[in-house]
Protein backbone atom coordinates (compact mmCIF):
# COMPACT_ATOMS: atom_id res chain seq x y z
CA UNK A 1 0.00 0.00 0.00
CA UNK A 2 1.47 3.38 -0.95
CA UNK A 3 1.50 6.23 1.57
CA UNK A 4 -1.19 8.11 -0.40
CA UNK A 5 -3.56 5.09 -0.11
CA UNK A 6 -3.42 5.01 3.69
CA UNK A 7 -6.58 6.03 5.55
CA UNK A 8 -6.30 9.06 7.79
CA UNK A 9 -5.90 8.07 11.44
CA UNK A 10 -8.90 6.64 13.30
CA UNK A 11 -9.24 4.28 16.29
CA UNK A 12 -10.22 0.70 15.50
CA UNK A 13 -12.28 -1.14 18.11
CA UNK A 14 -15.10 -3.65 18.45
CA UNK A 15 -15.75 -2.64 22.09
CA UNK A 16 -17.81 0.55 21.87
CA UNK A 17 -18.63 3.76 20.04
CA UNK A 18 -20.21 7.04 21.04
CA UNK A 19 -21.96 9.90 19.27
CA UNK A 20 -23.05 13.18 20.74
CA UNK A 21 -26.35 11.77 22.12
CA UNK A 22 -25.56 8.10 22.81
CA UNK A 23 -23.02 5.50 23.97
CA UNK A 24 -23.13 1.97 22.53
CA UNK A 25 -21.17 -0.89 24.14
CA UNK A 26 -20.79 -4.18 22.28
CA UNK A 27 -23.97 -3.24 20.40
CA UNK A 28 -26.07 -2.35 23.47
CA UNK A 29 -27.17 1.16 24.44
CA UNK A 30 -25.36 1.93 27.70
CA UNK A 31 -28.56 3.25 29.25
CA UNK A 32 -30.23 -0.15 28.71
CA UNK A 33 -27.37 -1.78 30.61
CA UNK A 34 -27.54 0.66 33.54
CA UNK A 35 -29.89 -0.70 36.20
CA UNK A 36 -30.16 -4.08 34.44
CA UNK A 37 -26.63 -5.56 34.60
CA UNK A 38 -24.52 -6.00 37.71
CA UNK A 39 -20.84 -5.13 37.56
CA UNK A 40 -19.67 -8.72 36.90
CA UNK A 41 -22.12 -9.09 34.00
CA UNK A 42 -20.98 -5.73 32.62
CA UNK A 43 -17.34 -6.80 32.89
CA UNK A 44 -18.16 -10.04 31.06
CA UNK A 45 -19.90 -8.11 28.26
CA UNK A 46 -17.11 -5.56 27.86
CA UNK A 47 -14.37 -8.21 27.96
CA UNK A 48 -15.99 -11.04 25.97
CA UNK A 49 -18.31 -9.10 23.66
CA UNK A 50 -21.50 -10.97 24.62
CA UNK A 51 -23.84 -11.03 27.60
CA UNK A 52 -23.03 -13.95 29.95
CA UNK A 53 -25.37 -16.86 30.63
CA UNK A 54 -26.90 -16.51 34.10
CA UNK A 55 -24.49 -19.15 35.45
CA UNK A 56 -21.40 -17.50 33.95
CA UNK A 57 -22.48 -14.07 35.20
CA UNK A 58 -22.97 -15.40 38.72
CA UNK A 59 -19.69 -17.31 38.66
CA UNK A 60 -17.71 -14.30 37.50
CA UNK A 61 -19.28 -12.23 40.28
CA UNK A 62 -18.47 -14.96 42.81
CA UNK A 63 -14.80 -15.06 41.71
CA UNK A 64 -14.55 -11.28 41.90
CA UNK A 65 -16.11 -11.19 45.38
CA UNK A 66 -13.75 -13.96 46.49
CA UNK A 67 -10.60 -12.26 45.22
CA UNK A 68 -11.54 -8.65 45.99
CA UNK A 69 -10.00 -8.45 49.47
CA UNK A 70 -7.41 -10.60 51.23
CA UNK A 71 -6.05 -8.55 54.16
CA UNK A 72 -2.26 -8.12 53.96
CA UNK A 73 -0.74 -9.60 50.80
CA UNK A 74 1.98 -8.22 48.50
CA UNK A 75 -0.50 -5.91 46.71
CA UNK A 76 -2.10 -4.29 49.78
CA UNK A 77 1.25 -4.02 51.60
CA UNK A 78 2.89 -2.43 48.53
CA UNK A 79 -0.03 -0.04 48.03
CA UNK A 80 0.33 1.12 51.62
CA UNK A 81 4.08 1.71 51.28
CA UNK A 82 3.59 3.64 48.05
CA UNK A 83 0.89 5.71 49.73
CA UNK A 84 3.22 6.33 52.70
CA UNK A 85 5.32 8.42 50.33
CA UNK A 86 2.56 11.03 50.21
CA UNK A 87 1.04 10.29 46.81
CA UNK A 88 -2.63 10.58 45.79
CA UNK A 89 -5.09 7.67 45.91
CA UNK A 90 -4.70 6.50 42.32
CA UNK A 91 -0.90 6.37 42.60
CA UNK A 92 -1.10 4.16 45.71
CA UNK A 93 -3.59 1.86 43.95
CA UNK A 94 -1.34 1.65 40.88
CA UNK A 95 1.61 0.76 43.14
CA UNK A 96 -0.32 -2.18 44.57
CA UNK A 97 -1.41 -3.34 41.12
CA UNK A 98 2.23 -3.58 40.05
CA UNK A 99 2.75 -6.56 42.39
CA UNK A 100 0.34 -8.79 40.46
CA UNK A 101 2.76 -11.24 38.88
CA UNK A 102 3.81 -14.87 38.65
CA UNK A 103 3.61 -15.43 42.42
CA UNK A 104 0.74 -13.16 43.51
CA UNK A 105 -2.66 -13.07 41.80
CA UNK A 106 -1.38 -15.19 38.95
CA UNK A 107 -4.72 -16.01 37.28
CA UNK A 108 -3.15 -16.27 33.83
CA UNK A 109 -0.58 -19.00 34.53
CA UNK A 110 -2.90 -21.66 35.98
CA UNK A 111 -5.53 -20.78 33.35
CA UNK A 112 -2.94 -21.39 30.61
CA UNK A 113 -1.67 -24.59 32.27
CA UNK A 114 -5.15 -26.14 32.55
CA UNK A 115 -6.07 -25.11 28.99
CA UNK A 116 -2.87 -26.67 27.64
CA UNK A 117 -3.40 -29.74 29.83
CA UNK A 118 -6.93 -30.42 28.58
CA UNK A 119 -5.86 -29.85 24.95
CA UNK A 120 -2.81 -32.10 25.44
CA UNK A 121 -4.90 -34.89 27.00
CA UNK A 122 -7.13 -34.88 23.92
CA UNK A 123 -4.19 -34.74 21.49
CA UNK A 124 -2.22 -37.49 23.28
CA UNK A 125 -5.26 -39.68 23.99
CA UNK A 126 -4.68 -39.50 27.76
CA UNK A 127 -7.29 -39.45 30.50
CA UNK A 128 -7.39 -36.35 32.71
CA UNK A 129 -6.05 -38.50 35.57
CA UNK A 130 -3.02 -39.42 33.45
CA UNK A 131 -2.54 -35.82 32.33
CA UNK A 132 -2.73 -34.61 35.94
CA UNK A 133 0.08 -37.03 36.84
CA UNK A 134 2.10 -35.96 33.78
CA UNK A 135 1.83 -32.23 34.55
CA UNK A 136 2.76 -32.63 38.21
CA UNK A 137 5.63 -34.99 37.36
CA UNK A 138 7.00 -32.72 34.61
CA UNK A 139 6.93 -29.67 36.91
CA UNK A 140 8.64 -31.63 39.66
CA UNK A 141 11.37 -32.91 37.32
CA UNK A 142 12.03 -29.35 36.12
CA UNK A 143 11.96 -28.13 39.76
CA UNK A 144 9.13 -25.75 38.85
CA UNK A 145 6.32 -24.80 41.22
CA UNK A 146 2.80 -25.41 40.01
CA UNK A 147 1.07 -22.07 39.41
CA UNK A 148 -2.11 -21.86 41.47
CA UNK A 149 -1.05 -24.31 44.19
CA UNK A 150 -0.05 -23.76 47.83
CA UNK A 151 -0.53 -20.59 49.81
CA UNK A 152 2.21 -19.18 52.03
CA UNK A 153 -0.23 -17.94 54.69
CA UNK A 154 -3.06 -20.50 54.60
CA UNK A 155 -1.30 -23.65 53.28
CA UNK A 156 -4.83 -24.98 52.50
CA UNK A 157 -6.54 -21.92 51.05
CA UNK A 158 -10.00 -21.57 52.71
CA UNK A 159 -11.43 -19.94 49.58
CA UNK A 160 -10.78 -22.81 47.16
CA UNK A 161 -13.48 -25.29 48.19
CA UNK A 162 -16.15 -22.58 48.36
CA UNK A 163 -15.42 -21.54 44.77
CA UNK A 164 -15.61 -25.17 43.63
CA UNK A 165 -18.92 -25.66 45.51
CA UNK A 166 -20.44 -22.52 43.96
CA UNK A 167 -19.23 -23.60 40.50
CA UNK A 168 -20.79 -27.04 40.93
CA UNK A 169 -24.10 -25.54 42.05
CA UNK A 170 -24.07 -23.27 39.00
CA UNK A 171 -23.03 -26.10 36.67
CA UNK A 172 -19.93 -24.18 35.56
CA UNK A 173 -17.15 -26.57 36.64
CA UNK A 174 -15.99 -28.68 33.69
CA UNK A 175 -12.82 -30.33 32.35
CA UNK A 176 -10.31 -27.65 33.40
CA UNK A 177 -11.54 -27.63 37.00
CA UNK A 178 -11.54 -31.42 37.02
CA UNK A 179 -7.92 -31.47 35.82
CA UNK A 180 -7.00 -28.85 38.44
CA UNK A 181 -8.44 -30.96 41.27
CA UNK A 182 -6.89 -34.16 39.91
CA UNK A 183 -3.52 -32.39 39.95
CA UNK A 184 -4.01 -31.68 43.66
CA UNK A 185 -4.55 -35.45 44.14
CA UNK A 186 -1.46 -36.15 42.05
CA UNK A 187 0.74 -33.99 44.28
CA UNK A 188 0.01 -36.37 47.15
CA UNK A 189 1.37 -39.31 45.11
CA UNK A 190 4.32 -37.50 43.53
CA UNK A 191 5.40 -35.07 46.28
CA UNK A 192 4.54 -37.35 49.19
CA UNK A 193 2.33 -34.57 50.61
CA UNK A 194 -0.77 -32.78 49.41
CA UNK A 195 -0.06 -29.40 47.81
CA UNK A 196 -3.44 -27.72 47.91
CA UNK A 197 -4.88 -25.70 45.06
CA UNK A 198 -5.32 -22.04 46.02
CA UNK A 199 -8.11 -19.61 45.10
CA UNK A 200 -6.06 -18.24 42.23
CA UNK A 201 -5.66 -21.76 40.81
CA UNK A 202 -9.37 -22.57 41.14
CA UNK A 203 -10.27 -19.24 39.54
CA UNK A 204 -7.88 -19.88 36.64
CA UNK A 205 -9.50 -23.30 36.09
CA UNK A 206 -13.06 -21.97 36.30
CA UNK A 207 -12.30 -19.10 33.96
CA UNK A 208 -10.78 -21.62 31.51
CA UNK A 209 -14.01 -23.63 31.80
CA UNK A 210 -15.91 -20.40 31.01
CA UNK A 211 -13.81 -19.85 27.87
CA UNK A 212 -11.56 -17.06 29.16
CA UNK A 213 -8.12 -16.77 27.62
CA UNK A 214 -5.24 -16.42 30.12
CA UNK A 215 -4.64 -12.67 29.66
CA UNK A 216 -8.33 -11.93 30.18
CA UNK A 217 -8.31 -14.18 33.24
CA UNK A 218 -5.55 -11.96 34.64
CA UNK A 219 -7.82 -8.98 33.95
CA UNK A 220 -10.41 -10.50 36.31
CA UNK A 221 -7.80 -10.54 39.10
CA UNK A 222 -6.69 -6.98 38.39
CA UNK A 223 -10.20 -5.57 38.57
CA UNK A 224 -11.17 -7.62 41.65
CA UNK A 225 -8.11 -6.62 43.67
CA UNK A 226 -8.38 -2.98 42.60
CA UNK A 227 -11.51 -2.79 44.79
CA UNK A 228 -9.56 -3.62 47.92
CA UNK A 229 -6.57 -1.47 47.01
CA UNK A 230 -8.84 1.58 47.01
CA UNK A 231 -9.84 0.70 50.60
CA UNK A 232 -6.24 0.06 51.74
CA UNK A 233 -4.93 3.27 50.20
CA UNK A 234 -7.85 5.30 51.54
CA UNK A 235 -7.28 3.89 55.02
CA UNK A 236 -3.55 4.58 54.78
CA UNK A 237 -4.28 8.17 53.73
CA UNK A 238 -6.81 8.82 56.46
CA UNK A 239 -5.56 6.72 59.39
CA UNK A 240 -1.78 6.69 59.12
CA UNK A 241 0.80 9.48 59.11
CA UNK A 242 2.93 8.61 56.12
CA UNK A 243 6.57 7.50 55.87
CA UNK A 244 6.00 4.71 58.41
CA UNK A 245 9.00 5.38 60.66
CA UNK A 246 7.60 7.67 63.34
CA UNK A 247 8.50 6.90 66.95
CA UNK A 248 5.41 8.84 68.04
CA UNK A 249 3.02 6.01 67.17
CA UNK A 250 1.59 3.32 69.46
CA UNK A 251 2.67 0.54 67.04
CA UNK A 252 6.35 0.19 66.06
CA UNK A 253 6.46 1.33 62.45
CA UNK A 254 7.89 -0.95 59.71
CA UNK A 255 10.60 1.57 58.77
CA UNK A 256 11.67 2.26 62.37
CA UNK A 257 15.47 2.19 62.53
CA UNK A 258 15.17 -0.40 65.31
CA UNK A 259 14.14 -2.88 62.59
CA UNK A 260 17.13 -2.17 60.35
CA UNK A 261 20.07 -2.35 62.72
CA UNK A 262 23.62 -2.26 61.31
CA UNK A 263 24.10 -5.87 62.48
CA UNK A 264 21.40 -7.01 60.02
CA UNK A 265 23.51 -5.63 57.14
CA UNK A 266 25.64 -8.26 55.42
CA UNK A 267 27.28 -6.24 52.62
CA UNK A 268 30.95 -5.15 52.53
CA UNK A 269 32.27 -3.82 55.90
CA UNK A 270 32.63 -0.07 56.43
CA UNK A 271 35.62 1.12 54.32
CA UNK A 272 37.18 4.42 53.28
CA UNK A 273 36.53 5.82 49.79
CA UNK A 274 39.85 5.31 47.87
CA UNK A 275 41.97 8.47 47.61
CA UNK A 276 41.71 8.63 43.78
CA UNK A 277 37.89 8.91 44.09
CA UNK A 278 38.09 11.90 46.47
CA UNK A 279 37.77 14.75 43.99
CA UNK A 280 36.29 17.42 46.28
**Could you list the residues that contact ligand COA (CB under 6 A)?**
103-104, 106, 145-152, 195, 198, 200-201
Comparison of 104 and 244: residue with beta carbon closer to ligand COA: 104
CB of 72 to ligand COA, least distance (A): 13
Q: Which is nearer to ligand COA, 50 or 102 (CB)?
A: 102
Closest distance to ligand COA from the beta carbon of 200 (Å): 4
Smallest gap from Cβ 109 to ligand COA, in A, equals 7
Distance CA 163, CA 142 (A): 30
Provide, rounded to whole angstroms, the least separation between the CB of residue 152 and ligand COA: 3
User: Smallest distance, Å, CB 75 to ligand COA?
Assistant: 11
Closer to ligand COA by CB, 150 or 178: give it. 150
By beta-carbon proximity to ligand COA, the closer residue of 93 and 146 is 146
Nearer to ligand COA, 71 or 123 (CB): 71
Amino acid sequence: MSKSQRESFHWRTSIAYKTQPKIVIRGYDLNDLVGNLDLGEMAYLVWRGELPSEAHGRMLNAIMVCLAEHAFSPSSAAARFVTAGGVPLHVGVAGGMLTIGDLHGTFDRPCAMFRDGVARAKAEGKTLEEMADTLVREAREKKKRLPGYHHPQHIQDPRSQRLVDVARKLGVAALHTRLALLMEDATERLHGKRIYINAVGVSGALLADMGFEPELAKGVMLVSRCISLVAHVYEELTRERGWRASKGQDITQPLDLELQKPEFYDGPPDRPLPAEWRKL
